[in-house]
Amino acid sequence: DIQLTQSPSSLSASVGDRVTITCRTSQRISNFLNWYQQKPGKAPKLLISAASNLQSGVPSRFSGSGSGTDFTLSINSLQPEDFATYYCQQGHTIPFTFGQGTKLQIK
């Protein structure tokens, strides 16, 4: 199975900050990497597909990059509604796997 390692596991930041979350995969997966946002008690929401494709309706302050084994999710100018847990997911090979999550907390 392809292992996904996110860093950091948790992150404290302030409104207006820029943050970056990293996802590293145990095998090369081209750009088949997706990012999700999950708020407490809610279902995950797809933010970015294929490493860098921003989903419709997702604010442009979110961006993704990377290919191969190293990927990043960046959030510019954090807003209060961005404090949540973020997961990466590889769609390259079954079984599809997720990173362990990064909890973004308000400082």
Partner 1 sequence: EVQVVESGGDLVQPGGSLRLSCVASGFTFNSYAMNWVRQAPGKGLEWVSAISGSGSSTNYADSVKGRFTISRDNSKNTVFLQMNSLRGEDTAVYYCAKDRALIAVTGSLFDPWGQGTLVTVSS
Nearer to partner 1, 46 or 106 (CB): 46
CB-CB contact of 43 with 59 (8 Å): no
49: contact with partner 1 by CB under 8 A: yes
Instruction: Verify binding: residue 64, partner 1, rule CB under 8 A.
Output: no
Residue found under tokens 């999700």: 36
Nearest distance, CB of residue 14 and partner 1, angstroms? 26
Q: Which one of 20, 22, 69, 100 is in contact with partner 1 (CB under 8 A)?
A: 100
80 contributes a contact to partner 1 by CB under 8 A: no
**Type of residue at 18:** R
| Percentage helix, strand, coil for the chain under 3-state DSSP, each rounded to 5 | 5, 50, 50
